[in-house]
Protein backbone atom coordinates (compact mmCIF):
# COMPACT_ATOMS: atom_id res chain seq x y z
CA UNK A 1 0.00 0.00 0.00
CA UNK A 2 1.39 3.35 -1.08
CA UNK A 3 0.67 6.36 1.10
CA UNK A 4 0.95 9.86 -0.26
CA UNK A 5 1.31 12.74 2.15
CA UNK A 6 0.32 16.18 0.93
CA UNK A 7 1.57 19.24 2.70
CA UNK A 8 -1.38 21.20 3.99
CA UNK A 9 -1.22 24.80 2.91
CA UNK A 10 -1.52 27.35 5.65
CA UNK A 11 -3.05 30.40 4.05
CA UNK A 12 -3.28 33.76 5.70
CA UNK A 13 -6.80 35.01 4.96
CA UNK A 14 -7.17 38.39 3.30
CA UNK A 15 -10.76 39.45 3.89
CA UNK A 16 -12.07 41.97 1.37
CA UNK A 17 -15.41 43.75 1.30
CA UNK A 18 -15.40 44.37 -2.45
CA UNK A 19 -15.75 42.22 -5.56
CA UNK A 20 -11.98 42.15 -6.15
CA UNK A 21 -8.67 43.65 -4.99
CA UNK A 22 -5.67 44.50 -7.15
CA UNK A 23 -2.48 42.55 -6.49
CA UNK A 24 -0.46 45.60 -5.46
CA UNK A 25 -3.15 46.63 -2.96
CA UNK A 26 -3.50 43.07 -1.67
CA UNK A 27 0.20 42.91 -0.82
CA UNK A 28 -0.10 46.13 1.18
CA UNK A 29 -3.44 45.18 2.77
CA UNK A 30 -2.01 41.84 3.93
CA UNK A 31 1.05 43.63 5.39
CA UNK A 32 3.28 41.50 3.17
CA UNK A 33 5.11 44.67 2.09
CA UNK A 34 5.59 48.04 3.75
CA UNK A 35 4.68 50.33 0.86
CA UNK A 36 3.27 50.57 -2.62
CA UNK A 37 6.77 51.16 -3.96
CA UNK A 38 7.96 47.93 -2.41
CA UNK A 39 4.91 46.10 -3.82
CA UNK A 40 5.72 47.42 -7.30
CA UNK A 41 9.34 46.29 -6.98
CA UNK A 42 8.64 42.74 -5.78
CA UNK A 43 5.93 42.23 -8.41
CA UNK A 44 8.16 43.44 -11.25
CA UNK A 45 11.04 41.34 -9.90
CA UNK A 46 8.89 38.20 -10.39
CA UNK A 47 8.82 37.45 -6.65
CA UNK A 48 5.02 37.12 -6.39
CA UNK A 49 2.94 34.12 -7.44
CA UNK A 50 -0.78 34.28 -8.18
CA UNK A 51 -2.51 30.91 -8.17
CA UNK A 52 0.87 29.21 -8.46
CA UNK A 53 2.21 31.26 -11.40
CA UNK A 54 4.58 34.23 -11.49
CA UNK A 55 2.63 37.44 -11.98
CA UNK A 56 4.21 40.75 -13.02
CA UNK A 57 0.95 42.72 -13.36
CA UNK A 58 0.50 45.14 -10.44
CA UNK A 59 -3.12 45.70 -11.41
CA UNK A 60 -4.01 42.00 -11.59
CA UNK A 61 -7.50 41.61 -10.14
CA UNK A 62 -7.74 39.03 -7.36
CA UNK A 63 -11.15 37.57 -6.58
CA UNK A 64 -12.30 35.47 -3.61
CA UNK A 65 -10.65 32.05 -3.88
CA UNK A 66 -7.48 33.39 -5.49
CA UNK A 67 -4.17 32.77 -3.72
CA UNK A 68 -1.06 34.91 -3.92
CA UNK A 69 2.30 34.01 -2.45
CA UNK A 70 5.26 36.15 -1.49
CA UNK A 71 8.34 35.53 0.63
CA UNK A 72 7.34 31.97 1.57
CA UNK A 73 3.82 32.87 2.73
CA UNK A 74 0.54 32.26 0.90
CA UNK A 75 -2.52 34.49 1.21
CA UNK A 76 -6.10 33.49 0.37
CA UNK A 77 -8.51 36.16 -0.84
CA UNK A 78 -11.84 35.79 0.97
CA UNK A 79 -14.96 37.88 0.98
CA UNK A 80 -16.49 39.24 4.15
CA UNK A 81 -19.66 37.28 4.82
CA UNK A 82 -22.72 39.32 5.66
CA UNK A 83 -24.06 38.60 9.12
Q: What is the mean pLDDT of each run of 10 residues along the chain (83 residues)?
A: 61 94 97 95 97 96 97 93 57
Do 64 and 1 meet the contact criterion of CB atoms below 8 Å apart?
no
Q: What pLDDT is attached to residue 9?
A: 67
Q: What pLDDT is attached to residue 28?
A: 97
Q: What pLDDT is attached to residue 2?
A: 63
Do 39 and 27 meet the contact criterion of CB atoms below 8 Å apart?
yes
Let me know how long the chain is.
Answer: 83
Amino acid sequence: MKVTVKKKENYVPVIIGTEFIKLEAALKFANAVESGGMAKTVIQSEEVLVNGEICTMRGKKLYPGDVFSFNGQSYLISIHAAV
